Chains A and B, each alone.
Chain A
Amino acid sequence: MTVSLVLVIVMAALIACGVYLLLERSLTRVVLGFLLIGNGVNLLILIMGGPAGLAPIFEEGLDPSAYNDPLPQALILTAIVITFAVSAFLLALIYRSWRLANADDVSDDADDVALREGALTMPIEEVSPDEGDTDFPAEVTGEAPR
């Protein structure tokens, strides 16, 4: 299978930039990264369809290998529509996040942060069998910062 080297380079560049942007904390950059990767992958499918050829409309006496492979293009069309819808949703999500928190970044889970900083003191279950009325140790604060 012969493929266009230019297309391969473009695809690699798109995906590489996309991955770089996806690793950022800023949501806007994440969306841009997702768009780049999505387009890179669409190019990948196009490349996998083989070299360019005639439009796949049957003509008498033509060698089948002269036609372009239509299936990857159908797949790409579907993928483009999906990417389009999802990026619209992502933009709405980011806008909402901005309106609510005035923040354009992926924030940490509050519970994770609490756990990491040891603020989530857990009640310890020390119930001795003969101690009917359970008393919990005094260090139980039970208060998790929200």
Chain B
Amino acid sequence: MAALVSLVVLVPLLAAALTLVLGRRARPQRVVAALALVIVLGMSVALLVGVDAGGAVVVEAGDWPAPYGIVLVVDRLSALMLVVSSLVLLAVLVFSIGQGLADGDDETPVSIYYPTYLILTTGVMVAFVAGDLFNLYVGFEILLVASYVLITLGGTQARIRAGVTYVIVSLLSSVLFLASIGMVYGALGTVNLAQVAERVQDLPVDVQILLHVMLLVAFGIKAAVFPLSFWLPDSYPSAPAPVTAAFAGLLTKIGVYAIIRVETVIFPSPELNPALMVLALLTMVVGALGAVAQADIKRILSFTLVSHIGYMILGVALGTVAGTAAAIYYIVHHIVVQTTLFLAAGLVEREAGSTSITRIGGLLASAPLVAVLFFIPALSLGGIPPFSGFIGKLGLFQATAAQGDALAYVLIGAGALVSLLTLYALVRVWNLAFWRPAADVEGDETRLLRAVEEAPDDEGARSETRTTPRLMTLSTAGMVVVGLALTVFAGPLYAVADRAAQNLDGSAVYIELVLPGATEGEGAR
């Protein structure tokens, strides 16, 4: 078990080095990248099974004892996140392999894609297994630097423009995080999460709140919590489709994961919970209203992404086991479903040549499979029963209702409303892009029709514009199936989320795990 914790980080890193060496040979690069992610997925599943059955794993790097050396901690929450993120990363990799094969870019110099993607994977894994704040920072930096490269891939003007916004905002959040680490060290003399949690209670309340807010702002930018969310819809849509899918699914959730750690392990006290609930409300509502106003599928999806971050923050802000469990299930659901939707948007872009819903139409007739692959996750995101989005929202609303005050009921109402707005935005996409007959699109610029107009007799051109590689469809379909599995196996999954949340009920379990004998608790794992 202990070896797996290190290997989950090392395998993608070594694979990144290998793909870099293989820079000019596309086929071995793809094989190595896919193989590495399959191995990571297998190890993550093994970790989840092992951790869920036998308790969390703590690895002391180089055998240095806990508060002095670097510790890697995999508890149920980390293990669950590892499984979901490696699954999503694998699906997106397969999608991008399919896209690359179709575009025939064997000759292009974009051989940095696979190494960078694997380094992104490494960063994600480091962030999830980090047992101290500084290691978390390093994990964030690894994945952010990789994401800077991926979001500006190809270096076109639109991507550079979007990339600049993204890079500067991310840098600001990193600097804030680093400053908070400095302050935490100054106040407590440690950056080990367990030791921080142990010592933080002795601090004066005002210092506690200062540190708490600093960390929340740093992670809030990464998680795109209102009012720190406006960079996201600005920068995500212009990246290549698979990159956007991976970013949308994972990167913001890592911010949410960090917020969960801060709220449950370091500062379990409820002072800032009402403020967080208000922020959750605003994130939900503002994001959903933004989604309604957009005319581009990728931008609509980016705004719904922001709005659904609000649900997760709501679950965390409740500060109860039920709330955290619901938030964890919701993160899992949202990572899968949001990635699927962005992959489906990638397929739409390929079929229709655009993602602007004012310009495309008739996709239900021309690409029925893509329509199905978009429709199912869209319903799930909109919270239609029996899909996983409904189960997650139900859990959240139940946990919120248990709190029972006026703010809680306002939030439930807003949550239901936002879910309807999400549905409205997605149904608009459905009506215009899929259901509307292609002939009704004014100023029709779909690629297919243009090709037909240019060469009406050329059967070859017509079929060529329509080919969507089977791998792309396959990986999207695979993600849809995973999304459906989240619904079918919601019982066991929710139980795991619940057990993970019980481990996070206050800091005692975590402290006992990393520093055994430090507290007098019975240390139930």
Contact = CB atoms under 8 A, between A and B. Distances in A.
Partners in one complex: yes
Contacts of A109: 161-162, 165, 234
A97 interface: yes
B378 to A, nearest CB: 16
B149, B160, B162, B437 — most chain A CB neighbours (10 Å):
B160
A136 B295 contact: no
Contacts of B134: 75, 78
Contact of A97 (B148, B164, B172, B441): B164
A89 B145 contact: yes
Contacts of B175: 34, 37-38, 41
Contacts of A134: 436-437, 440
B295 A106 contact: no
Interface in A55-77: 71-72, 75
A7 interface: no
A72 B181 CA distance: 10
Interface string A97-123: 100110000110111100100001111
B178 interface: yes
Contacts of A37: 175
A93 interface: yes
A49 to B, nearest CB: 8
B286 interface: no
A143 interface: yes
B296 A142 contact: no
Interface stretch (B55-63, B95-103, B182-190): B182-190
Interface residues of B, number: 51
B155 interface: yes
Contact of A142 (B157, B158, B442): B442
Contacts of A38: 175
A144 interface: yes
A101 B145 contact: no
Contact of B182 (A48, A85, A93, A94): A48
B138 A86 contact: no
A45 B178 contact: yes
B299 interface: yes
B432 to A, nearest CB: 6
Contact of B428 (A47, A89, A121, A125): A125
A46 to B, nearest CB: 8
A79 to B, nearest CB: 6
A36 to B, nearest CB: 10
Contacts of A48: 182-183, 185-186
Contact of A144 (B167, B178, B358): B358
B185 A93 contact: no
A17 interface: no
A89 B149 CA distance: 9
A9 B471 CA distance: 58
14 contacts: A41-B175, A41-B178, A45-B178, A45-B181, A47-B182, A75-B134, A75-B185, A85-B145, A93-B163, A101-B160, A106-B165, A109-B162, A111-B296, A142-B359
Interface of B: 134, 138, 141, 145, 148-149, 152, 155-158, 160-165, 167-168, 171-172, 174-175, 178-179, 181-183, 185-186, 191, 234, 237, 293-296, 299, 356-359, 428, 431-432, 436-437, 440-443
Closest 7 pairs between A and B when the two form their complex, measured CB to CB: A48-B186, A45-B182, A142-B358, A44-B182, A100-B157, A41-B179, A48-B182
Interface of A: 1, 22, 27, 30, 34, 37-38, 41, 44-45, 47-49, 71-72, 75, 78-79, 82, 85-86, 89-90, 93-94, 96-97, 100-101, 106-107, 109-112, 115, 120-123, 125, 127, 134-136, 140-144
